[in-house]
Amino acid sequence: MSTTSRDVLVTGIGLVSSLGEGLDVHLEHFSGAAPEPVLEREAYAPYSVHPLPEIDWSQQIPKRGDQRQMETWQKLGTYAAGLALQDAGIPFDESVRSEIDMVVAAGGGERDAAVDAMVMERARKTNAPEKVINETLGTELRPTLFLAQLSNLLAGNISIVQKVTGSSRTFMGEEAAGISALYSTRARIASGQSEIALVGGSFSAERRDLILNFDLAELMLKSEWAPVLARRKGADGIAVGSVGAFLILESPEHAERRGAKVYAKLVSAVGDRGKRDGDGTAKRFAELLPQIDPSDLLIFSGASGIAEHATIETDALAKAYPDAARIAYGSLLGHSFEAHVPAGIALAAGALSRGTILTPTDPANEQAQSAAAKRAVVTAIGHLHAEGACYLEAVDGS
């Protein structure tokens, strides 16, 4: 019934993480002799956090007023979106950028930790905590903080700062949001419902309020840091990482018309969910994997650090693509939930285009490349739910 189906190209990459900013910095790090993560182990102990590097926000968010209106996750996303647009060679021209669609995978809820502490402190001394909440929040909250909390205000800020206004949709829900953002955007372009789109997400890891949420479910890594696939049951868990990852996806016609450089073809992006029992999860995940020639393939595993999921994933990948090269990129970036799949696509498209040979961070559990990859699969097993797989191919002549 689908009348048209065309290729979907990756034509712009904006990536920021603990490793630095820009595609080149990342590929350099991932292809180094013995790649090591950048970790903050003290400030959030016993948790390991992959922190943001020093960023000159004004490079992509020139107005101080705009910077003041945003909290870190929004600045990070707006900055990475700016990098992607710039990398794609899209001029800062409203008439051009007003035709670009946007899908953002976002969490949200940045909090004012000092105000929250004040409420808790005052509530201890009263038997009417609701009154304390009213009084304290009513007088202490910055009115504009709300706008830094709303999930769709990352997209809103990208519209204001980067002038992307063709359409604006925000998907929520951890890894699932990232998978769905890629799926939906790819499908719209493939079917002719969109010509060019900005898609991605951001996650700010240096937030105790979020770490609290995750650790209430005992999801955080509290033991000594180890690469994601090396974390064994009982000493496993998530090391959160700050990441901003945005991509420009484009139809071949649109890309050709404006003479865009092409990183790779995003052939598919699919996801599923269901009951999390070992066999069911394994079966669902295996069914999402594209049936392709495993030669010249590089797998970018989005493993989160949860041992049980890593086992399921590794078994399924070994079965589907015996001997294929494989790295788990969360070891170097940390886990970034909504931004994790977009970051994997950014790395995969970059490596395919440049022919970069990546170095395993964890040789015991990863598989080194013997030659530059022509194909890449980016995988995700969400920390609580959702499984996904994206398939990219190098373009001819790259």
Least CB distance from residue 337 to another protein, whole Å?
Answer: 10
Residue among 7, 29, 5, 6 at smallest CA distance from 343: 29
Of 121 and 308, the one with the shorter C-beta distance to another protein is 121
Q: How far is the CB of 373 from another protein (least distance, A)?
A: 26
Of 270 and 324, the one with the shorter C-beta distance to another protein is 270
Measured from the CB atom, the residue of 354 and 385 that comes closer to another protein is 385
Inter-helix orientation angle 23-30/340-354, to 10°: 80
375-381 and 325-328 strand pairing: unpaired
Task: Quote the least distance from Cβ 381 to another protein, whole Å.
Answer: 13
Q: Would you say 164 or 317 has its CB closer to another protein?
A: 164
Minimum CB distance to another protein, residue 182 (Å) = 11
Considering the complex, state which of residue 32 and residue 274 has its C-beta at the smaller distance from another protein.
274
> Considering the complex, what minimum distance in angstroms separates the CB of residue 166 from another protein?
7
Minimum Å gap between C-beta 215 and another protein is 5
Using the 8-state DSSP alphabet, how is residue 238 labeled?
A: B
Q: Which residue, 64, 84, 94, 90, is CA-closest to 23?
A: 84
Nearer to another protein, 214 or 329 (CB): 214
Q: How far is the CB of 317 from another protein (least distance, A)?
A: 20
The torsion angle over the Cα atoms of residues 285, 291, 296 and 300, rounded to 10 degrees, is: -20
Other beta carbons less than 10 A from residue 62's beta carbon: 12
Decide: residue 213, CB within 10 A, 0-12 exposed, 13-18 middle, 19+ buried. middle
Distance CA 398, CA 395 (A): 6
Nearer to another protein, 142 or 232 (CB): 142
d(CA 251, CA 194): 8
Q: Taking Cα atoms as reference points, which of 83, 309, 289, 324 lies closest to residue 175?
A: 309
What is the DSSP secondary structure assignment for residue 277, as one 8-state letter? -
DSSP 231-276: PPTTS--B-EE-EEEEEEEE-HHHHHHTT----EEEEEEEEE----
